[in-house]
Amino acid sequence: MSEVKANPDAAEPKRRWFEPLAAIVMALATLSTAWCSYQSARWTAVSGRYGKAADNLQRRAMALHLEANQMMTVQAQMFMQWVNAHLATNDTLAEFYAARFGPELEKAFAVWLAQKPFESRGAAPHPFVPGLYESRFNAEEKEALAELP
């Protein structure tokens, strides 16, 4: 039996194109990795900026919300003092409080009084109901929240 020996020169053409192809694939993989790293860093920075802007808008909205609640509390207390003075028929004291209402309460109060609340059961129970009273900060708060990405 004759033994067939493998010809080492037959594998040479395959090896000749395999090494350059492997080098090209490795170069493409390296370039792709570098490109992905660049894009990741770039979008991380963009995302960070949007996150910071969103945080700032949310803080601003919460500050406006807090300020609106504080203002409404003060105005509600003044309104209650006006009611007490009105029911005690102390017109001087009632006028004192009414003159110090803020623009939001002043507007709602005028509409509420036009409903004749002391005579009509269909009148709103107080001027702070939705549709009558609108805090000046509510619109700004809604704008800040609407700007959130």
Is 103 a member of any domain? yes
Q: Is 70 exceeded by the pLDDT of residue 6?
A: no
pLDDT value for 86: 94
Helices 91-99 & 12-87 angle (0-180, nearest 10): 160
Is 2 a member of any domain? no
Residue 130: phi and psi, rounded to 5, are -60, 140
**Contact call for residues 101 and 74 (beta carbons, < 8 A):** no
Total number of domains constituting the chain: 1
Q: Is 60 exceeded by the pLDDT of residue 13?
A: yes
pLDDT tens string 14-30: 667 778 888 888 989 89
pLDDT tens string 102-123: 888 999 999 999 999 999 889 9
**Contact call for residues 101 and 128 (beta carbons, < 8 A):** no
pLDDT tens string 46-101: 888 888 888 888 888 888 888 888 888 999 999 999 999 999 999 999 999 999 99
State the first-to-last Cα distance of the chain, in angstroms, to the nearest integer: 81
- Structural domain containing residue 119: 12-146
**Contact call for residues 105 and 79 (beta carbons, < 8 A):** yes
**Is this prediction's pTM over 0.85?**
no
Q: Is 80 exceeded by the pLDDT of residue 11?
A: no
Nearest-angstrom CA–CA distance, 61 and 96: 33
* Rounded average pLDDT over 23-51: 88
